[in-house]
Amino acid sequence: MTNTQKPQRGITATQFDLLVPAPAVSAALWEVRTHLRREHRHALWVNQVLQHAGKPSVPVPETTGDTLTALLHNCGFTTTLAQRGGVRVTGFTGEYAAVEGVLRSLAPHVRSRGYIEWHDATDGAVWRLVFFQGRMDVQEITAPDMSRWFSEG
């Protein structure tokens, strides 16, 4: 599946093949919710420290949602129901940095060989987060163009 959504900070998810099969949906919901609640508590603590120092606050992750699709939607993912009750990710409009932990918590429940391909418009890098046997690994497809950093001038 291809997605051509507006880049967030230059990083866009461009291709998806990510499926949580029906038997794994309940466990995936529990894992994602647990991760988001941990992130929520951490963000609240950080915001207390920042407020005391007179600094701007950080975003607090949304932890509400009774279904896996609702939680993923709150993180910026678009999903559809797959055959037999599974959940398929079909799009993304959030910020990459905010969802890497969510995807790691989802990894044990994703069908093996699933992936999300990302493109960074600022340096041309393309990479995939590949899900295999309960893990999420990064697979570099195109290295970033570092010439602008090292050009003579």
pLDDT tens digits for 1-48? 333 333 345 788 888 899 999 999 999 999 999 988 888 888 888 888
Contact status, residue 75 vs residue 102, Cβ threshold 8 Å: yes
Contact status, residue 106 vs residue 25, Cβ threshold 8 Å: no
pLDDT at res. 11: 83
Please check whether residue 90 lies inside any domain of the structure.
Answer: yes
Please check whether residue 89 lies inside any domain of the structure.
Answer: yes
Please check whether residue 5 lies inside any domain of the structure.
Answer: no
For residues 29 and 24, give the distance between their C-alpha atoms in angstroms, rounded to a whole number.
9
Please check whether residue 3 lies inside any domain of the structure.
Answer: no
End-to-end CA distance of the chain: 42
Largest CA distance in the chain: 59
Please check whether residue 50 lies inside any domain of the structure.
Answer: yes
Whether the pLDDT of residue 107 is over 50: the answer is yes
- The boundaries of the domain holding residue 41 are 11-145
| pLDDT range class, residue 109, cuts 50, 70, 90 | very high
Q: How many domains does the chain have?
A: 1
